[in-house]
C-alpha cells in the first residue's frame, strides 16, 4: 500500500501570501483536497492531509505527522509570490535520494503539462518540511498570487482541477498506481479521470470515487439532488449537515431546522457517538472524516476500531481531547 502525505501550506493564523483577493492558505487547501480526491480513484494507495481546515500546524509537526505515519511520499502544496509568473518545485538542497530527484522531474513535467504554466524549473532549498521528512519529498509552488494573470487562473475551479490532476498524474507514474476502473481493461498505470467542476457543461453524475459514493447515498437517503462530482466542497458539507440534522430529528426529536448550517442549535443537539455504535449518524461521522482527510476505513455505519482510530487522529490534529469519542465538540470542528 502506497502512502501519500499531502501538506496544504500555511493555515490558521498564517495566511501565507495574500494578493488579488486570494489567500494562499485557502487556495492550497482547495488544491490539496482535489489531489486527495483524485488519488482515491486509484487502488493500492492511502492518503493523509496535514490539515483539512483552516488550522495552523508548525512545520516540524507537519514533517513529524508524515514520518510517524510512515508515508512513502511527502507533497507540500504552495502558491508563490514576489512578482514572478508560473510554476516551480523544490527538493531539499542537501543529500537526497535518486528517487527524490527523478520524482521531481516527473512532478515538474506533469504539472506544467496539465496547467500550461510557465515553467520556472526544478529547484532545491533548505525548507524545513523537506529537511525534516524521512521520505522523498517535494514542495510545489503553483503560480504567483501577486501576478494578476496567475491569480485569475487560481480563481477558476476548472484550472484548480488541472493543477491537482498534474500532481496526481505524477504520483501515479512514480508509484505505478492503477486506476480502480480502467476503461481499457489493462493494468497499466493510467491518468485519473478529471473530477468535473460544478459549473461544467458536462454532467458530473457519472463520477466515481468514495466521495461520489457518499454524494449518491446522500441524494438517495435524504431525497436530495446534489452534484455527484467526487469533490468535497460546501455543497457536500452542507448536505452531510442536513443528513445529521434529519437523523437527530428522527431519532432524538431535536426539532432542528434542516438547513445545512452547523450552528449552535445543531451543536447542542449532537449526541455522543462511540465505538460499538451503528446507524446513519455513524455513517455521517465516517463520511465527514473521510472528506476531511482522515479515513475511517469502510464507510458502513459501524463504529469499529478503524473509525475510533480516525476520530482519535482527527482530534489529535485539531487539538481536541483525544478519546476516540465523537461528541458535540468533535462534530463542530469536523463541520467547521
What average pLDDT does range 164-181 have in this prediction?
Answer: 89
Q: What is the DSSP string of 52-107?
A: SSS----HHHHHHHHHHHT-SEEEEEEEE-SS--SEEEEEESSS--HHHHHHHHHH
User: b/e string for 157-193 if b means 16 or more Cβ within 10 A?
Assistant: bebbbbbbbbbbbbbbbbbebbbeeeeeeeeebbbbb
Mean pLDDT lowest among 194-208, 217-231, 248-262, 304-318: 194-208
pTM of this structure:
0.58
Mean pLDDT across 262-273: 95
Per-residue pLDDT at 180: 65
Judge whether 141 counts as a catalytic residue. yes
Contact 140, 121 (CB under 8 A): no
pLDDT at 188 over 60: no
The model's confidence at residue 282, banded by pLDDT at 50, 70 and 90, is very high
| Confidence check: pLDDT of 186 > 90 | no
Residue-wise pLDDT for 149-158, tens only, equals 999 999 999 9
Q: For the chain, which domains are there? A: 2-179 (3.40.630.40), 210-334 (1.10.101.10)
**Choice among 88, 141, 165, 247 that is catalytic:** 141
Amino acid at each position: 500500500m502506497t502512502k501519500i502525505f499531502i501538506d496544504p501550506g500555511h493555515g490558521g493564523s498564517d495566511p501565507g501570501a495574500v494578493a488579488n483577493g486570494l489567500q494562499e492558505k485557502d487556495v492550497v487547501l482547495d488544491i490539496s483536497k482535489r489531489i486527495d480526491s483524485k488519488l482515491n480513484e486509484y487502488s493500492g494507495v492511502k492518503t493523509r492531509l496535514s490539515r483539512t481546515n483552516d488550522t495552523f500546524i508548525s512545520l516540524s509537526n507537519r514533517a513529524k505527522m508524515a514520518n510517524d505515519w510512515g508515508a512513502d511520499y511527502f507533497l507540500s502544496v504552495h502558491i508563490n509570490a514576489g512578482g514572478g509568473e508560473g510554476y516551480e518545485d523544490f527538493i531539499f538542497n542537501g543529500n537526497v535520494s535518486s528517487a527524490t530527484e527523478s520524482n521531481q522531474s516527473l512532478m515538474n513535467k506533469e504539472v506544467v503539462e496539465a496547467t500550461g504554466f510557465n515553467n520556472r524549473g526544478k529547484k532545491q532549498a533548505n525548507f524545513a518540511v523537506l529537511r525534516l521528512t524521512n521520505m522523498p519529498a517535494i514542495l510545489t509552488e503553483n503560480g504567483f498570487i501577486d501576478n494578476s494573470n496567475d491569480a485569475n487562473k487560481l480563481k477558476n475551479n476548472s484550472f484548480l482541477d488541472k493543477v491537482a490532476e498534474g500532481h496526481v498524474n505524477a504520483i501515479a507514474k512514480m508509484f505505478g498506481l492503477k486506476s480502480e476502473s480502467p476503461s481499457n481493461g489493462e493494468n497499466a498505470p493510467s491518468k485519473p479521470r478529471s473530477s468535473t467542476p460544478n459549473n461544467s457543461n458536462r454532467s458530473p453524475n457519472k463520477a466515481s470515487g468514495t466521495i461520489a459514493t457518499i454524494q449518491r447515498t446522500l441524494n438517495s437517503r435524504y431525497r436530495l439532488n446534489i452534484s455527484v462530482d467526487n469533490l468535497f466542497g460546501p455543497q457536500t458539507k452542507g448536505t452531510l449537515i442536513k443528513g445529521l440534522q434529519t437523523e437527530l430529528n428522527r431519532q432524538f426529536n431535536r426539532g432542528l431546522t434542516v438547513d445545512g448550517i452547523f450552528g449552535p442549535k445543531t451543536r447542542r443537539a449532537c449526541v455522543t457517538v462511540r465505538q460499538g455504535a451503528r446507524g446513519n449518524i455513524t455513517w455521517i461521522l465516517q463520511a465527514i472524516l473521510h472528506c476531511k482527510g482522515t479515513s475511517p476505513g469502510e464507510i458502513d455505519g459501524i463504529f469499529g476500531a478503524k473509525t475510533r482510530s480516525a476520530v482519535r487522529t482527527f482530534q489529535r490534529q485539531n487539538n481536541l481531547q483525544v478519546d476516540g469519542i465523537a461528541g458535540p465538540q468533535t462534530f463542530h470542528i469536523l463541520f467547521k
